[in-house]
Chains A and B, each alone.
Chain A
Amino acid sequence: MADLLNLQGWLLALLQTALFVTAAPLLVGWLRLLKARLQNRRAPALTQPYRDLTKLFRKEAIVADTASPLFRAAPYVVFSATVVTAAVIPLLAVHLPTAIIADVIVLVGFLGLARFFLALAGMDAGTAFGGMGSSREMTIASLAEPAMLMAVFTLTMTAQSTNLSHAIDFLLAQGVVLRPSFMFALLALLLVAVAETGRVPVDNPTTHLELTMVHEAMILEYSGRHLALMEWAAQLKLMIYGVLIANIFLPWGIAVENTPTALLVGLGAIAGKLMLLCVVLAVSETVLAKMRLFRVPGYLNLAFLFALLGMLSHVILEVGA
């Protein structure tokens, strides 16, 4: 816990968080660009998400007269919880003081806190859509969370630490080892990430069709800066899952020492990894169609099964070996 009094570390952590938060819309821009290219459309500019956010921040906020004060507080809670999540994830460097504040279970808890308020806000205006979206979001999340934790547990049992920075340290020290458990855990986490971030085939972020929307249904009543915060939090969440997958399963390149060169290498590495992950996501979103809501449990059971297989192969094949 001695890292706590390290001023340089804190500064770096703040910078990293700021980078995380500001880069999230860029990631979405890149994803949209890829999807447009794959679908033979003219792509919007890479900076379009920033323009959308600035536009929303400038507009006046409209609040339903049926809504309670919780409705206006929720965007701030959702956004702060997501920002704090981003702050504890190693993006460029491993050894930062923020990493020890919360481990990976707490991280899942933060996302849960954000989701709790998002779902409550959906129900606050007293419309049918909001309740529908909240109910669906919470159902999907409650099935995704065990699969996610199970996949993460496989990793943490290998590294003997639920602390992300320690786990990444451990994996880096191990060198390149092909572990069957990690392959399964990666598959599980990919499936969960798609469900949790509301991407095709679980939810469609661009839809406004009443019967299919989940995330959009909850934020339907939001406008102006409230909507901007909600949208930004969603973009941040996508980036969080991307960074988690990239840095847990392919940690190479992340800065172990806090020197300028190492940090620059880390920046390049994470940018490259995220761009690649977005390619995978864009291709899968282009070839897959959105599935019916009641097919989603089957999909998430598959994720859980992968996670369980990962755990089993860890216990049977790797422990003691």
Chain B
Amino acid sequence: MALQLIAYAVALSLLSGVVGLAASRYRQLLRWACFPLLGLSGLAAATGGLLALTGEPAAAQLPLGLPWLAWSVRVDALAGFILLLIGVVVFAVAVFGPGYTREFLHGRHSLAALGVFTGLFVAGMQLVVIADDAFMFMVAWELMSLSSYFLVAFQHENAANRRAAFLYLLMAHVGGLAILLGYGVLAAFGGGFTFEAMRAAELPQLWAGVAFALAFFGFGMKAGLVPLHAWLPEAHPVAPSHISALMSGVMLKVAIYGFVRVTFDLIGTVQVDWGVIVLLAGSLSALLGVLYAMQQTDIKRLLAYSSIENVGVIFMALGLAIIFLASGHPLLGSLGLIAALYHALNHALFKSLLFLGAGAVIQQTHQHSLEHMGGLLKRLPYTGTFFLIGCLSIASLPPFNGFASEWLTLQTALQGVVLDSGVLRIVIPVTAAMLALTAALGAMLFVRLYGIAFLGQPRTRQARQAHLPSFGMRAAQGLLALLCLLLGVLPALSIDVMGAIPQALGGLPEPGITGQGWLWLTPVSAAAASYSAPLVLLGLGLAWLLFYLLLHGRNHQRVRRIHPWDCGFGPLSPRMQYTATAFAQPVRRIFQPVWLLEEKVERLSDDKSGQLTSLRHQLLVTDRSWKVLYEPAGRWVISAARRIALLQSGNVRTYLSYSFFTLIFLLWLIS
């Protein structure tokens, strides 16, 4: 049943892509056929995923593939969980899409490209998750990568977008190659491309390490781990916003799915060192991600960098899980795994919510920079409220969902005392403190984003004239916001459903997080830690109600509206507000070595009197990884290519001699 529904989901998203072909001629088809089909596909995937999560694993063979290598598909609890995540976000995007793409109808953009590749992209992601052999996995993976390339390049009239798309394509293929090689190692020892054979394979420690390193590199690149992240903040923001939501919200989770599948399921026996590497890489990504995000003024770039932060958090929890599993604490290992996957689900929800909100804002104001927004909460009340819920969730504040998963991650980290290694017992709490720093900086980041964009006075005419977005756009955001709140307030119920996932990954035990009933999260034992989100919400609500009634019973009419305090100098103009750049200045100063900063101040003064007439301040913040990693690597590739190009003389006789000598060499080799 589950498998059938998922098959329908894939078929529907492919159908949506096929219908999209006609959208260049019948432009309304995109809105009234492609998106509804996509929404149905999302619903089917979510239902199928939920059934698979709670039911038995199901497998089937497809009449596709190579003659001796039929494609096989299988859904277990883990695949079901990721499908559920994909389905929910795809559904929300499909509800959001018709309103959002209205502005593309009269442009010169190819709507066929948008329709076709969105369908293929979604189908690719769904296929990756259900693939049960490396061959089908790679085909689906490439389908996902390539179709999303075209979506990134959708607005290709802009040179920066073309560059971002090319970078994305390049990095996706370097990563894809690593994954392919990783599967190669596993297939060589397992004697086949099916996951079944790989699971059964007994790998020597060294080769297991090689396979893990390749998988970590490949999937880590797709997930945007620092320092392999440079493509992400370039590519995610330039796609249309609903696609950005899919890429940041869902595609990164598919990469995490791949990592979990290969590491915990296919390789199986993990080693402590791997966990330490994953943990440290995760901490680095989390911290640098949030610091880089803090300096962005483009709303979508900021959100993309914040995805790097959250992926870092997920990998931290995965690293902890690996460490605990490898040192013989399977219960704590499952706890880390659940924390990671729960954060993945939460991130999918709030990040898509924020990207959809950003899309609505950009559609209404035609501004990408925070410095040109302001006062939007009054003009877009629904988007503003839902966006606030997204900000609260991503800033990991109780009782929202981001907090529940970060709390679980911290609780996992605090169990580091059970380990025998003294070094690990110190390193793990320090990474937990890094997580706390990341969370606190994250809160500052989202105060900055929300405060500058939605509060205060409008900084531009466009921001002042923003109107309500269409009903579908609001409904999609409302749905995601509601889910954020529900998963935050009832974490025990959702984690209860996830309990089958560790079992599906080589029979790990189910952690007793929800052992005390639906009210409580008790990750280790009731005495060690407990958190009851429903009661917390109740307490907050009661305290609010009590004081609201106390105060409003007496003087509720007595609120006077007046202009804000201007120090007696006359009315305040919107330009006197704190800017996004100014808001981040203290952090910029404290963590200075993290960025490459170029600051220029131009002073123009009057020739005669020498009085200052105008002042221009310019700040350029660049990712340090470009200078340290990418530019040297790029130069090296080009110089290596030049050397190799010496072979290409253009002379036919030389080429013939190459073939001749190769032939001789091969004959010598086989004889």
Contact = CB atoms under 8 A, between A and B. Distances in A.
Do A and B come together as binding partners?
A: yes
B440 interface: yes
B572 interface: yes
Interface residues of A, number: 89
B397 A113 contact: yes
B55 interface: no
Interface string A113-146: 1011001101111111111101110110111111
B585 A135 contact: yes
A68 B377 contact: yes
Contacts of A316: 422
Interface in A31-84: 57-58, 60-70, 72, 76-77, 79-81, 83-84
B590 A297 contact: yes
Contact of B456 (A58, A66, A109, A229): A66
A26 interface: no
Contacts of A98: 539
Interface stretch (B98-106, B242-250, B332-340, B530-538): B530-538
A133 to B, nearest CB: 9
A1 B516 contact: yes
B558 A127 contact: no
B578 A80 contact: no
Nearest to A60: B558
Interface in B575-604: 576-578, 582-587, 589-590
A149 interface: yes
B551 A57 contact: yes
A3 to B, nearest CB: 10
A125 B456 contact: yes
A162 interface: yes
Interface in A78-121: 79-81, 83-84, 87, 98, 100-103, 105-106, 108-110, 112-113, 115-116, 119-120
Contact of A225 (B375, B397, B520, B551): B551
B582 A135 contact: yes
B540 A81 contact: yes
A297 B587 CA distance: 10
Nearest to A160: B528
Contact of A101 (B378, B532, B543, B576): B532
B451 A157 contact: no
A283 interface: no
Interface in B419-456: 422, 425-426, 429-430, 432-434, 436-437, 439-441, 443-444, 446-448, 450-452, 454-456
B528 A161 contact: yes
B147 to A, nearest CB: 38
Contacts of B396: 109, 112
A319 B423 CA distance: 13
Interface string B535-559: 1100111011001100100010011
A81 B536 CA distance: 10
Nearest to A229: B547
Interface stretch (A246-254, A261-269, A272-280, A307-315): A307-315
Contact of B536 (A62, A101, A315): A101
B586 to A, nearest CB: 4
B431 to A, nearest CB: 11
A194 to B, nearest CB: 17
A172 interface: no
B398 to A, nearest CB: 4
Contacts of A101: 530-532, 535-536, 539
Nearest to B384: A68
Given A126-B564, A161-B529, A138 B447 contact: yes
Given A100-B532, A162-B414, A138 B444 contact: yes
A167 to B, nearest CB: 10
A191 to B, nearest CB: 15
Contacts of B576: 127-128
Contact of A65 (B446, B562, B585): B562
A123 B414 contact: no
B466 to A, nearest CB: 14
Contacts of B446: 116
A108 B398 CA distance: 10
Nearest to B563: A65
B168 to A, nearest CB: 31
B214 interface: no
B532 A70 contact: no
Contacts of B434: 146
Nearest to B434: A146
A80 B417 CA distance: 35
A166 B530 CA distance: 11
A271 interface: no
Contacts of B410: 105, 149
A126 B540 contact: no
B407 interface: yes
A128 B578 contact: yes
Contacts of A294: 586, 589
Interface in B499-535: 516-517, 519-520, 526-532, 535
Contacts of A156: 414
Contacts of B443: 112, 115-116, 138, 141-142
A64 B563 contact: yes
A272 B272 CA distance: 49
B450 A112 contact: no
Given A1-B516, A120-B450, A131-B577, A126 B528 contact: no
Contact of A70 (B407, B455, B526): B455
Contacts of A102: 398, 531-532, 536
A216 interface: no
A79 B562 contact: no
A183 interface: no
A221 B531 contact: no
B397 A109 contact: yes
A68 B453 CA distance: 13
A225 B548 CA distance: 11
A98 B516 CA distance: 16
B429 A157 contact: yes
Contact of A124 (B455, B541, B555): B455
Contacts of B585: 135
B191 interface: no
B561 interface: yes
Contact of B590 (A72, A124, A138, A143): A143
A166 B527 contact: yes
Nearest to B392: A116
B115 interface: no
Contact of B548 (A76, A106, A129, A312): A76
A293 interface: yes
Contacts of A1: 516-517, 519-520, 526, 530
A145 B436 contact: yes
Contacts of A76: 544, 547-548
16 contacts: A60-B560, A64-B561, A64-B565, A101-B535, A103-B531, A108-B436, A116-B397, A125-B456, A131-B451, A132-B582, A142-B443, A146-B436, A166-B527, A229-B551, A297-B590, A315-B422
Interface of A: 1, 4, 57-58, 60-70, 72, 76-77, 79-81, 83-84, 87, 98, 100-103, 105-106, 108-110, 112-113, 115-116, 119-120, 122-132, 134-136, 138-139, 141-147, 149-150, 153, 156-157, 160-163, 166, 220-221, 224-225, 229, 293-294, 297, 304, 307-308, 311-312, 315-316, 319
Given A76-B544, A76-B547, A221-B565, 16 more contacts: A57-B551, A64-B563, A66-B572, A80-B540, A80-B544, A100-B532, A101-B539, A119-B447, A123-B456, A126-B457, A131-B583, A134-B447, A135-B448, A163-B527, A163-B528, A224-B558
8 nearest CB pairs, A to B: A131-B578, A123-B451, A126-B456, A80-B543, A138-B444, A142-B440, A64-B564, A126-B457
